[in-house]
Amino acid sequence: MRTVPQRFRARRPGLTPLAMLAVLVLLGSGCTSAPPGITPVQNFDLEGYLGTWYEIARLDHSFERGLSDVRADYALLPDGAIAVRNSGYGVEGWEVAEGRALPVGDPTVGHLKVSFFGPFFGAYVIFALDQDSGWALVSGPNRDFLWLLARSSELPAGERREALGLAEAAGFEVAALIFPSHDRSRARAP
């Protein structure tokens, strides 16, 4: 399932900025737990969550710094795990990281664990989800990690305000969020 643009095949070995996500989450926390006080969504429909999500906002981290057009694609694998493919555009072109996710406990709860490197998993906690409007708030193992994702590369202002209000009420530093552009993803994504 590995799909990597030709120029990445010739590149010297190492981690792309997106692949660094897994390393930093795992080494920094080594945890798949939700942050204290954050409750994953209940009655979660995993199959309904599959597909493409665009990053509307994020707390800045070195593994995504400078990336625009960030998106995540989720697909069900034959063994029941979820294929994860993150991509974003940086100084060196498109960066891609592939991994897998599994529910943490009950699959009807929006709490997954994600791995980009073997048996090491980090938290992926969906704590707000509006399937009708097509947006989700996702945290890592602590409040240093926050993503506002949407089914479209643009989220209407009212929906954005609602999501950010929920994130702020949950104790996240919304004033520090960055909002990447999606100019390239409209034209061509890897």
pLDDT tens per residue, range 107-122? 999 999 999 887 889 9
Q: What domains can you pick out in the chain, each with its CATH number? A: 12-184 (2.40.128.20)
The pLDDT score that the predictor gives to residue 43 is 95
Residue 7 pLDDT more than 50? Answer: no
**pLDDT score for 117:** 80
Residues constituting the chain: 190
Reported as a single tens digit per residue, the pLDDT across 117-175 is: 878 899 999 999 998 899 999 999 999 999 999 999 999 999 999 999 999 999 999 99
**Beta carbons within 10 angstroms of residue 14's beta carbon:** 7
Q: How far is CA 68 from CA 7, 87, 88, 89, 151, in A?
A: 19, 9, 6, 5, 16
pLDDT above 60: residue 23: no
Of 144, 83, 90, the closest CA to residue 116 belongs to 83
Q: What is the pTM of this model?
A: 0.82
Position 25 scores a pLDDT of 45
The fraction of the chain above a pLDDT of 90, given in percent, is 68
Residue 86 · residue 21 · CB < 8 Å: yes
Percent share of the chain, pLDDT over 70: 81
Q: Is 153 left (phi over 0), alpha (psi -120 to 50) or beta?
A: alpha
The pLDDT value recorded for residue 11 is 34
More reliable by pLDDT, 109 or 13: 109
* 190/186 Cα distance (integer angstroms): 11
With CA atoms as reference, report the closest residue to 146 among 136, 134, 158, 132: 136
Over 80: is that where the pLDDT of 95 sits?
yes
- Compute the chain's Rg from CA coordinates: 16
